[in-house]
Amino acid sequence: MSHPHPDLGPPPALVDDALRVVALGGIGEIGRNMTVFEHRGRLLIVDCGVLFPETEQPGIDLILPDFSYLRDRWGDVDAVVLTHGHEDHIGAVPYLLREAPQVPLVGSQLTLALVEGKLQEHRITPLTLQVREGQTEQLGPFACEFFAVNHSIPDALGVAIRTAAGTVLHTGDFKMDQIPLDGRITDLGGWARLGREGVDLLMSDSTNAEVPGFVTPEREIGPVLDDIFRGANRRIIVACFASHVHRVQQVLDIAHEHRRKVAFIGRSMVRNMGIARDLGYLRIPADLIMDLKEIDKLAPDEVVLISTGSQGEPMSALSRMANRAHQQIRIEPGDTVVLASSLVPGNETAVFRVINGLNRLGAHVVHKETAMVHVSGHAPAGELLYVLNMTRPSNVMPIHGEWRHLRAHAELAVASGVPRDNVVLADDGVVVDLLDGKASIVGTIPAGYVYVDGLAVGDIGEQELKDRLILGGDGFVSVFLAVDSVTGKVSAGPEILARGFSEDATAFDAVIPLVEESLAAAAREGISERHELQQRVRRVVGKWVSDTYRRRPMIIPVVIEV
């Protein structure tokens, strides 16, 4: 297997007969999916998603791909192809179009509708090209053929990218549910045909590469939900992803059978289900949906609420219910809450915090660990092997997964007969060239995290996050003093203010003489430069705090020259 090397430098100039592949996200992580293809001076982007922050990234709302590789080349981009409408594939599109509004978006009907709904909030009107399975579009030097794939959202697509350098099959996120609710299965026949024609590089979803076997059909959740509804004698609250139309459809159908009314909770849930209904992807029986404001008029056993917040997001509807902070919904003893989704890696603590909060309020909580209320949208190992054997690719590049998933997928490729040297284990920012039928790593480009914090994009870096973690864990200590600008002698202070450290007002009395002694020594040495004095104060206080309390708060010295 070829894999990234820490000594890799910038890639060489791309030769005319080669195809360059650069992932700006989605490799080594779950989310932020974005891949750039380059051929004969033109660029094609597949997906442009976000990554959601983890606990060690406090205050961050979203994490974007780094667009710096593209920033001087927006005019060379022929299109952004969107495989489906999940946030980890479309969430960063508004930020891309802020920089390059002329770049067209290519995708299926539902995917583009979800993107356009999101872009309205950013006051962006995109250029779009709607495609469907079986269609081929020439996008610059890239001939893109689209294939139906089954996933946990309708209208998902895989794409074959044909160039003079060879053919790439990018599966997007997919699974092989043979009896999907909408009857739209993954186009295995099309992929087999493509395999007979020759696939030079397979880029395939790796999320479930460690999971053996084949996926459980989505429709098997229905009887489980029906049993839950049958046994509930108060309100039922179902939390799932705001894009999971098939899951919501099953809840609506079962609610209708049990003569319950339904209300949607959460802005994204209301928006996405409205779009899916208007386009015919969601079938809602007459008089089933009620406005949330009208729900209190019904008896508890006549109500179903479908909510966002299955990942424990702090400001989501379900989290606010668990914290008694929701303005309209109060969890009462006997309510049933169903978390009908997977756990996104990194969200486990937040989700179980919500589950515990709901249980504390007396709710009966059902989740994937206690009942089959979720099936994955990603192909497990048996299905990945099926695709490998069907397409017989010359080269394989696992994508969309953490490193454990990528390596497991790589071993599946080798087991299926792909030469080990033709399995490319790359990383975000690693440059892969397809030339003369061989995919090889040739260099790296910057592909770091870009943090969104409120309205600020890219203003927060790793040092700021480190500072936030220190502040959250050990607090801060500020030391204020005034010095004579000529002699460097202390004329006032030092005064010490601490927050998040100790409630004892005298906790720092012992360090004040040490600070005074260090500053007096500096004055004798003729040191009066403010920055040097600040550094001396920081070292003295930091060492004393570490020796005395075994803690490392942020030390903020403030020296004023008078």
Going by C-alpha positions, the residue among 384, 443, 444 that lies closest to residue 415 is 384
Query: How many angstroms separate the CA atoms of 431 and 445, rounded?
Result: 7
Amino acid type, 396: V
Q: How confident is the model at residue 300 (pLDDT cuts 50, 70, 90)?
A: very high
Is the domain defined by 218-366 classed in CATH 3.40.50.10710? Answer: yes
Quote the pLDDT of residue 475: 72
Quote the pLDDT of residue 60: 63
Query: How many angstroms separate the CA atoms of 53 and 34, rounded?
Result: 17
CATH class of the domain defined by 19-213+376-455: alpha beta
Q: Which pair of tokens denotes residue 94?
A: 């508004």
Least confident of 309-323, 354-368, 459-473: 459-473
DSSP state of 328: S
Whether residue 488 is predicted with pLDDT greater than 70 in this model: the reply is no
Please answer whether residues 170 and 158 qualify as being in contact, where contact means their C-beta atoms are separated by less than 8 angstroms. yes
> Per residue in 80-89, pLDDT tens?
999 999 999 9
Please answer whether residues 21 and 434 qualify as being in contact, where contact means their C-beta atoms are separated by less than 8 angstroms. yes
Quote the pLDDT of residue 242: 84
- Residue where the block lists tokens 């406090």: 58
Please answer whether residues 312 and 350 qualify as being in contact, where contact means their C-beta atoms are separated by less than 8 angstroms. yes
Quote the pLDDT of residue 160: 98
Quote the pLDDT of residue 1: 55
Centroid of chain to Cα 248: 22
| 365/5: higher pLDDT | 365
Strands (E), 330-384: 336-339, 364-366
Whether residue 502 is predicted with pLDDT greater than 70 in this model: the reply is no
Average model confidence (pLDDT) across the chain: 87
> Per residue in 98-136, pLDDT tens?
999 999 999 999 999 999 988 988 899 999 999 999 999
Whether residue 213 is predicted with pLDDT greater than 90 in this model: the reply is yes
Query: How many angstroms separate the CA atoms of 337 and 358, rounded?
Result: 8
Quote the pLDDT of residue 194: 97
Quote the pLDDT of residue 470: 57
- Residue where the block lists tokens 């990603």: 378
User: Where along the chain do its domains lie?
Assistant: 19-213+376-455, 218-366, 462-561
Going by C-alpha positions, the residue among 9, 68, 78, 75 that lies closest to residue 37 is 78
Sequence-distant (6+) residues with CB within 8 A of 16 are 40
pLDDT more than 90, % of the chain: 59
DSSP state of 405: H
CATH class of the domain defined by 462-561: alpha beta
Q: Is the pTM of this model over 0.75?
A: yes
pLDDT more than 70, % of the chain: 88
